[in-house]
A and B are shown apart, each in its own frame.
Chain A
Amino acid sequence: MNEADITQLWVYLSAKPLTGLTITLVAYAIGFWLYQKSDRNPICNPVVIAIALIALLLKVTGTPYATYFEGAQFVHFLLGPATVALAVPLFRQTETLKRALPVIAFGVLFGSLVASASTVILAWALGASPETLASLAPKSVTTPVAMGIAENIGGVPALTAVCVIATGIVGATLGPMVMNMVRLKDWRARGFAMGVASHGIGTARAFQVNETAGAFSGLAMGLNTLATALTIPFLWHWIFG
């Protein structure tokens, strides 16, 4: 088989949705394998590894993102149902919720506002464009919800997706180290904070470290999704007209 044949084969294959879908799963499987090989070192985040591998492959083969997404959309689509499914882990925390509802509600609202306000103020002070500001504002909630919010307030959903994932990774890798540094020892508070600040990726990490932390992280993530979706668009339109 000569080079022309291979190019032709790739042109054929890259147009099939199967290829984008397969690449996504294989890249993630490689990422997950490396993560386990590294003794679950948070620096070896499977999402980052998968994204880097796929981005590199697209670059090397000159494949446009839209072509890749033809196949990858089947995975992407599941974000919606998965968000609905968050009701189940949230429901399992009903007892915890009942016991400390005012504190939990206050904590979630506080975290949600600190996350978006500090992001917007800091990025604005450093000269970010208005679209970038609107794309960054919902960065602490799970991707599909953040993309929906960004679209509503005039951001770029694709940029939001990237920022949301980066936020999750920063929270999952640096968060525990920083909380150790300031000597925060309560697993419930640590988990809760990870869920509020870094959504699903933070929660996945919290579950690996401690069961209690994971449960509180899942609870905080679910409630923060609600709090942010219910407050940010209204606040944004109110403040910026």
Chain B
Amino acid sequence: MIAAFALILVCQLFGEVVSELFDLPVPGPVIGLVLLFVGLLIKRYPPKVLTDAADNLLMHFSLLFVPAGVGVVTQIDRLKGDWLPIAAALIVSTLLTMVLTAFLMSKLLPKAKPGETLEDGQ
């Protein structure tokens, strides 16, 4: 467990260093993600401790958003000034993106197997 966690941190640290060193606009954790993904592709069968550590980290992924979200208290003035464009962008653009992407994918993906579509009355 410790080794798995250390490996994840090493990937992130590597990402941060590369991002800083080459002045990349890509955040360090994303480079770390790519590094770990490539490592997994090479290894083929990842050790269970690693997948368990990752699953544990991601199980309550949404909890990790809370501290940053509470930051809303520092942004009240800006939100008051720009509330209409922010609210409109959040709601309209999110739903537009979702519907357009879902439409595109439902056309392009290979035909759905039984159980892969929503049945009526479900």
Determine if B101 and A197 form an interchain contact, defined as CB atoms under 8 angstroms apart. yes
- Asked if B92 and A69 make an inter-chain contact with CB atoms under 8 angstroms apart, the answer reads no
Interface of A is mostly: helix
**How many A residues touch B, CB cutoff 8 Å?**
113
Complex Cα distance, B12 from A130, in Å, reads 31
Cross-interface CB contact of B68 among A143, A178, A230, cutoff 8 Å: A143
Given contacts A166-B90, A196-B97, A200-B62, contact A149 B34 (CB under 8 A): no
Q: Which residues of A contact B98 (CB under 8 A)?
A: 171, 175, 178-179, 193-194, 196-198
On whether the beta carbons of A188 and B66 are closer than 8 Å, the reply is no
Instruction: List residues 78-99 of chain A with CB under 8 A from any CB of chain B.
Output: 78-91, 94, 99
Nearest CB in chain B to that of A195: its residue: B101
Indicate if B96 sits at the interface (CB-CB under 8 A). yes
A134 proximal to B (CB < 8 A): no
Residues of A contacting B30 in the complex (Cβ-Cβ under 8 angstroms): 83, 145, 148, 225-226, 229
A68 in complex: contacting residue of B9, B70, B79, B86, CB < 8 Å: B70
Contact present for B102 and A75 (CB under 8 Å): no
Q: Which A residues are CB-close (under 8 A) to B62?
A: 46-47, 168, 200-201, 204
Are the C-beta atoms of A86 and B110 separated by less than 8 Å? no
For B, the interface residue count at a CB cutoff of 8 angstroms equals: 78
Contact string, A222-240, partner B, CB cutoff 8 A, digits 1/0? 1001100110011001000
CB distance from B115 to the nearest CB of A (A): 7
Contact A144:B67 (CB < 8 A) given known A84-B33, A85-B57, A186-B116: no
- In the assembled complex, the CB of B76 is this many whole angstroms from the nearest CB of chain A, namely 10
Q: Which residues of A contact B (CB under 8 A)?
A: 20, 24-25, 27-28, 46-47, 50-51, 54-55, 58-59, 65, 68-69, 72-73, 75-76, 78-91, 94, 99-100, 103, 106-107, 110-111, 114-115, 118-120, 122-129, 131-132, 136, 139-140, 143-145, 147-149, 152-153, 156, 158-159, 161-168, 170-171, 174-175, 178-179, 182, 184-190, 192-194, 196-198, 200-201, 203-204, 210, 212, 222, 225-226, 229-230, 233-234, 237
Min CB gap B85→A, angstroms: 4
CA distance in complex: A89, B50 (Å)? 12
Given A167-B90, A201-B62, also A190-B67 (CB < 8 A) = no
Q: Is the CB of B65 within 8 A of A91?
A: no
Please tell me if the beta carbons of B34 and A159 are within 8 angstroms of each other in the complex: no
CB-CB under 8 A from B68, the residues of chain A are: 76, 79, 143, 147, 158, 161-162, 165
Question: Could you tell me the distance between the alpha carbons of A111 and B68 in the complex, rounded to whole angstroms?
Answer: 25
Enumerate chain A residues within 8 angstroms of B54, measured Cβ to Cβ. 85-89
A200 touching B105, Cβ below 8 Å:
no
User: Given the complex of chains A and B, what is the CA–CA distance between A162 and B57 in angstroms?
Assistant: 22
CB-based contact A233/B26 at 8 Å:
yes
| Residue from B69, B78, B97, B115 whose CB has the most chain A CB atoms within 10 Å | B97
Q: Is B17 an interface residue (CB 8 A)?
A: no
Q: Known: A79-B64, A184-B102. Is A47-B69 also a contact (CB below 8 A)?
A: yes
